[in-house]
Amino acid sequence: MRMKTIADIISQSRRAAGLNQSELARKLGITPQSVQAWESGRAKPRPTMFSGLAEALRIDPGVLIDSVLLKPYEETGFLTPSTDIPAEDLGELNAYKDTIEKESFDQDAVALRYLQEVLRNEQTGETSVEDIDWRRFTFSRASLEKANVLPRYARCIEVKGNSMEPMLKDGSLVCIDTKDIAVADGMVYALDHAGQLRLRVVYRLPGGGLRLRCFNREDYMDEEYDQDEIGKQKIKILGKVFWSSTFW
């Protein structure tokens, strides 16, 4: 899988933030033609604009920095420094220097990719679940080994909404093992439900069906699908949750 370019990141994040090119340009005090040039790959924003651009796109500035400073090594998940970026093109990055160095060179740190819901059609609201290789979360290799999860199969997901409260609060993170998709009753799994990224407690039903349950059972009822409905609803198990963080 190729690494996302900065053009990909700007275009995809702009759509996810619900902005058109003119609206993003107004936020940054530039012309819509400049945004168009970035997204087409004909030009790149100056590093001095990364902070304001990241704020407008609602992403971590490090995502933009990584796109020009770092490149992934897919098999191990490590981030390694790019050697083909002239130093003068990076601008002033002192605010992020320590973080980048730690994440790049700590040999126990594994950079895990995210699974993320991405808007595909602004008119219909159609989404898809995509493996985002330009967004990374640094995780301990020792912790992965303890959980018996290989780095290349581990992915991160940001929790959205209150359906899994109080255990998993909005904004917290979970990590899943994408190789572990055989349902064990009562465990939490990530699912792709017709392009919607969901976290649910999953139970098997006779005949190949599934019951999906939220921790927040006051606001969300159980959902049950037989084998035919699973196909029609395009429900796919993405992996089992093996780690979580939460914010209070």
Whether residue 136 contacts residue 100, with contact meaning beta carbons closer than 8 Å, is answered with no
Residue 119 lies in a domain: no
What CATH number did the domain enclosing 167 receive? Answer: 2.10.109.10
Q: Does one domain contain both 97 and 14? A: yes
Task: Identify the weakest region by mean pLDDT among 4-8, 14-18, 63-67, 81-85.
Answer: 81-85
* 18: alpha, beta or left? (left if phi > 0; alpha if psi -120 to 50): left
Residue 121 lies in a domain: no
Residue 120 lies in a domain: no
Q: What is the pLDDT of residue 246?
A: 67
Nearest to 54 by CA among 134, 157, 137: 134
The whole domain housing 61 covers: 6-106
Q: Say which amino acid occupies 146.
A: K
Q: What is d(CA 150, CA 147) in angstroms, rounded to the nearest whole number? A: 9
Domain total for the chain? 2
Q: Does one domain contain both 96 and 135? A: no
Predicted confidence (pLDDT) per residue in 99-152, tens digit? 333 333 345 678 898 999 888 887 888 899 998 877 788 888 888 888 899 998
Q: Does one domain contain both 12 and 84? A: yes
Predicted confidence (pLDDT) per residue in 40-78, tens digit? 988 888 877 887 888 889 887 777 776 665 444 333 333
Report the predicted TM-score, pTM, of the whole model to 2 decimal places: 0.59
